[in-house]
Amino acid sequence: DVKVTQSSRYLVKRTGEKVFLECVQDMDHENMFWYRQDPGLGLRLIYFSYDVKMKEKGDIPEGYSVSREKKERFSLILESASTNQTSMYLCASGTYEQYFGPGTRLTVT
């Protein structure tokens, strides 16, 4: 059974904090993705990675960075969290068919 896991389901952070969201997949996929999902805006791609140590900006990379040190792990970093980064964050891996993790609902206060 394919699996993508995310480090937290719910997270509350303060403005200005550094936030790490971790994602792990067990399918040996080369491609991994980070999205955020907001009502009325749908899923928007933040960053993606085709291979270890490789990263590509998505549509809304501002305020985020990523790290891919191992094939199975893709981390999203909010360098200095802001209230407009309150959202549902979804990690995915795969190519044409993407497998999603359960999501992390991040609230920045």
Partner 1 sequence: RKEVEQDPGPFNVPEGATVAFNCTYSNSASQSFFWYRQDCRKEPKLLMSVYSSGNEDGRFTAQLNRASQYISLLIRDSKLSDSATYLCVVIPYNQGGKLIFGQGTELSVKP
Residues at the contact surface with partner 1, assessed by CB under 8 A: 31, 33, 35, 40-43, 45, 48, 50, 56, 58, 90, 95-98, 100-103
Is the Cβ of residue 31 or residue 86 nearer to partner 1 in the bound state?
A: 31
Q: How far is the CB of 70 from partner 1 (least distance, A)?
A: 21
Report the distance separating Cα 4 and Cα 17, nearest Å.
Answer: 26
Judge whether 23 and 101 are in contact, CB under 8 Å: yes
Q: How far is the CB of 80 from partner 1 (least distance, A)?
A: 27
Is the Cβ of residue 62 or residue 97 nearer to partner 1 in the bound state?
A: 97
Judge whether 99 and 108 are in contact, CB under 8 Å: no
Contacts with 99 (C-beta within 8 Å, 6 or more apart), sequence order = 2, 3, 4, 25, 27, 29, 92, 93
Is the Cβ of residue 90 or residue 108 nearer to partner 1 in the bound state?
A: 90
